[in-house]
Chains A and B, each alone.
Chain A
Amino acid sequence: MTLLEIQDLHVGVDSREIIRGLDLMVNAGEVHAIMGPNGSGKSTLSHVIAGKPGYEVTGGQILFRGEDLLEMEPNERAAKGVFLAFQYPVEIPGVTAMNFLRTALNAQRKARGRGELSTPEFLKKIREVAGSLNITRDMLKRGVNVGFSGGEKKRNEVLQMALFEPSLCILDEIDSGLDIDALRIVASGINGLRSPERAMIVITHYQRLLHYIVPDYVHVMSKGRVVKSGGKELALELEACGYAQFETAA
């Protein structure tokens, strides 16, 4: 089943065009990697899918399960099953991680027409997912991401992914700021969430991450377009030859 369909997407920021005619089709169960040099529009693409303000879509469309995603508020997109793991998760002092997770989970459940979880149900669910990600109770009592290391912040993103059970996960440079051990924990958390109903878009600079999260498809982005698509072997080719060959192709 097609989850996400992007057709001839054009996006600008401050009248500068960042995405210039991008096409992408993602089916349930698939893992797509999007690679590309800095400034190729990868993060912009993830922000536009999630609904971040400040971008102007000047052409094309994004369909999610056939519905026009661009017409939805960010929270509606989340409720529909779109999840963006942030490259730089924000710190929110004064809002405990626990309170945040519960508020967000219940908001999504409500939007999906399901009842709110009781406290014991919620705690049980948290325990199920936090343990395998090495997230302690103490971390959950602190303000969201406040005083968290880079690795802890990314683990917290994966925790939310597990909790909210989205059908499309966009991982924006989930590997940035992670040492090799943290990368293993995060990748194994993500791999545990792979399923035939769920799709993932993994945005990264480096092939390294794709050793741990092995994609079905690899796309190369340059200057706001997908310039080459292929299987996982394309990532190895990029590692060997770099992005330079695509700069001219775009």
Chain B
Amino acid sequence: MKQVLAKADAGCATSNFLAAALGRLPGAGLVPHIRARAFEAYERAGLPHRRMEAWRYTDLRTLIGEVLPLAPRPDAAALARAKASARLVAVDQAVKLVLVDGIFAPELSDLGELENELHVQSLREVLENSATGAMAGLVLSTTDDAVISLNAAMASDGLVISIAEGNTIRRPIQIVQVATGSSVSAFTRSYLQLDKGAHATVVQSFISAEGASGYQANDVLIALAGDEASLSHLRIAADAADAVNISSGIIAVGTRAKLDLFSMTCSGSINRYQGFVTLGGEGSKLSANGVNLIKDKLHADTTIVVDHAVPHCTSRQKFRAVVDDCGRSVFQGRIVVRPVAQKTVASLSTRALLLSDQAEADNKPELEISADDVTCGHGATSGALDGNLVFYLRARGLSEKDAQMLLIKAFIGESIEEILADNLRDFVTAQAEHWLQERQ
């Protein structure tokens, strides 16, 4: 029988569950107190539902209903299965850091290869040694979003990465999050700090080991890109076909700093990626892009909130969705321009390609502009492949499948080409092509 951690409909999950889990969750000093407060915040709100505007298309109460019990600590067999899967998604040249069922696995990670400028600790380490609770408070901070609060209460492990002023980390840092269990959940939370002028690329890959099914992953990444820093962040969600992945990114960008964000969802059952980006330093730049590749009954929601809090910042967003079968893609892009944020330049383009009659795409751009000297624009479209284009290609010798494939590749390429590093662009392209091949 499935053990239920938190019943959603009641909105009042039993704190006993947290109490039971606390024994297994890391944290000294004030940490249990921080967790309890976060759990209370979650309990007050319960799982998000459709009457909340931000969750309008992704009603977790009906889609997942309940939060599953914590995954057990991975044993040797689970680690071996995780290792085999992690190898398949390794980015060329990357420093790999692996989390298995929510627990950092140093034996699967490239800790020996860390560049000196790169400081990496596990969240567990940080929470256990956090005598004052200051660092814990930072890492476990919450917003008014219930899934982020729940994550703060339940986070079992993660990575705390910092890069000191002026340093450039040449190799991409790849955090591979592997699920090996079934009908369990994993809560991970990572914290990334780039000091002034630091440069880094962080790839997050969500995957499953063979045999894993019906699990839930809840991840939070908190990142600070200091003044003049440059952070490139890619996330690729390729979970088991019946898994749930709810990920949140909370990223602050400093003066003249630059954030390149790319999110791809190509598997899993219920996916929600929510990115909250605050452009908090003048002259900062955001390029946020992504692709949802959806088939079967997959539900993939990408929600990006960009807060232009100061003047002279730029944000550009380009999202593409390819939806087949009974899949549903959601894209919500909210751009907030504060009264002081004059000279803001913000653009948002979201397009969906529907490959079947049952496919659904919901695009919701929202512009909330409180300054008058700004340039903001958005565009949203959805439609089928153009039959005239398909015929032109077929008349030139391409099979229907190849013609469609070429056009779909061109369509998602509009977003993928925004990835600056050649090897990462190729990596994402290869994953997308794999999806396209499988589709046929």
Q: A residues within 8 Å of B by Cβ?
A: 50-53, 73-75, 77-79, 83-84, 86, 89-90, 92-95, 100, 103-105, 107-108, 111, 143, 160, 164
Contacts and interface: CB of A to CB of B under 8 A. Distances in A.
B324 to A, nearest CB: 19
A111 B389 CA distance: 21
B397 A107 contact: yes
Interface stretch (B73-81, B152-160, B408-416): B408-416
A79 B397 contact: yes
15 contacts: A50-B395, A75-B394, A75-B399, A75-B403, A84-B395, A89-B392, A92-B392, A94-B413, A100-B393, A100-B396, A103-B402, A103-B406, A104-B396, A107-B402, A108-B396
A164 B398 CA distance: 13
Nearest to A88: B388
B413 A103 contact: no
Contacts of B392: 86, 89-90, 92
Given A86-B392, A90-B389, A94-B413, A75 B407 contact: no
Closest 6 CB pairs of A and B: A94-B410, A108-B397, A74-B394, A104-B396, A78-B397, A107-B397
Contacts of B396: 75, 78, 100, 104, 107-108, 160, 164
Interface string B370-412: 0000000000000000111101111111111011001101110
A104 B407 CA distance: 13
Give the size category of B's interface with A: 20 to 34
- Give the most central of A74, A95, A111, A164: most B CB within 10 Å: A74
Nearest to B406: A95
A52 B391 CA distance: 6
A164 B393 CA distance: 13
A53 B410 contact: no
B410 A93 contact: yes
Contacts, number: 75
Contacts of A52: 391, 395
Contact of B391 (A53, A94, A104, A143): A53
B265 to A, nearest CB: 21
B295 to A, nearest CB: 21
A75 B410 contact: no
B11 to A, nearest CB: 47
B31 to A, nearest CB: 50
A103 B402 CA distance: 9
A75 B397 contact: yes
A77 B393 CA distance: 12
B397 A51 contact: no
B379 to A, nearest CB: 15
A76 B202 CA distance: 46
B397 A73 contact: no
A96 B426 CA distance: 17
Contact of A75 (B386, B387, B398): B398
A89 B396 CA distance: 12
B407 A92 contact: yes
B439 to A, nearest CB: 18
A104 B388 CA distance: 16
A164 to B, nearest CB: 7
- Give the most central of B386, B393, B395, B403: most A CB within 10 Å: B395
Contacts of B407: 92, 95
A103 B398 contact: yes
A51 B403 CA distance: 15
Contacts of B388: 90
A56 to B, nearest CB: 16
Interface in B349-389: 386-389
- Give the most central of B396, B398, B407, B411: most A CB within 10 Å: B396
A75 B403 CA distance: 10
Contacts of B414: 93-94
A76 B396 CA distance: 9
Contacts of B409: 94-95
B269 to A, nearest CB: 30
B406 A51 contact: no
A108 to B, nearest CB: 4
A82 B49 CA distance: 57
A172 to B, nearest CB: 11
B432 to A, nearest CB: 13
A104 B411 contact: no
Contacts of B410: 92-95, 143
A107 B398 contact: yes
Contacts of A77: 395
A104 B413 contact: no
Contacts of B399: 73, 75, 107
Contacts of B400: 73, 75
A75 B397 CA distance: 4
Contact of A104 (B386, B387, B389, B397): B397
A74 B395 contact: yes
A89 B391 CA distance: 11
Nearest to A104: B396
Given A53-B391, A74-B394, A90-B392, 20 more contacts: A51-B394, A52-B391, A73-B399, A75-B398, A75-B403, A78-B396, A78-B397, A79-B397, A86-B395, A92-B389, A93-B414, A94-B413, A95-B407, A100-B396, A104-B393, A104-B397, A105-B397, A107-B397, A107-B398, A143-B410
A173 to B, nearest CB: 16
A104 B393 CA distance: 8
A93 B389 CA distance: 10
Nearest to A112: B397
Contacts of A86: 392, 395
